[in-house]
Amino acid sequence: MPRMPSALITGITGQDGLYLAELLVAKGYDVHGLIRGQNNPRRDLVEGLLPDVRLHNGDLTDLSSLIRALRDSDPDEVYNLGAVSFVAYSWENAPLTTDVTGKGVLNMLEAVRLHSGDDLGRIRFYQASSSEMFGKVQEVPQRETTLLWPRSPYGVSKVFGHYMTINYRESYGMHASSGILFNHESPRRGPEFVTRKISQAVARIHLGQQDSMALGNLDARRDWGYAGEYVDAMWLMLQQPDPDDYVIATGEMHSVRELCHTAFGLVGLDWERHVRIDPRYLRPTEVDELCGDATKAERVLGWRATTSFEGLVRLMLEADLREAGLEPVEHLTVPEPAR
3-state secondary structure at position 20? helix
197's CB contacts (< 8 A; 6+ apart) are 191, 213, 215
Q: Cα Rg for the chain, rounded, in angstroms?
A: 20
CA distance 65 to 52: 22
| 95 upstream amide cis, omega within 30 of 0 | no
132 is catalytic: yes
Burial of 240 (0-12, 13-18, 19+ CB in 10 A): middle
88's CB contacts (< 8 A; 6+ apart) are 192, 281, 283
CA distance 100 to 256: 28
CA distance 320 to 30: 32
Which of 77, 132, 185, 229 is flagged as catalytic? 132
**Residue 268 is which amino acid?**
G
154 is catalytic: yes
- Note whether 178 and 127 are within 8 A (CB): yes
Which of 90, 130, 152, 186 is flagged as catalytic? 130
Angle at 11 between CA 248 and CA 231, to 5 degrees: 30
29 is catalytic: no
125's enclosing H/E stretch is strand 124-130
CA distance 220 to 286: 8
Which of 19, 79, 126, 154 is flagged as catalytic? 154
Q: Which amino acids are annotated catalytic?
A: 130, 132, 154
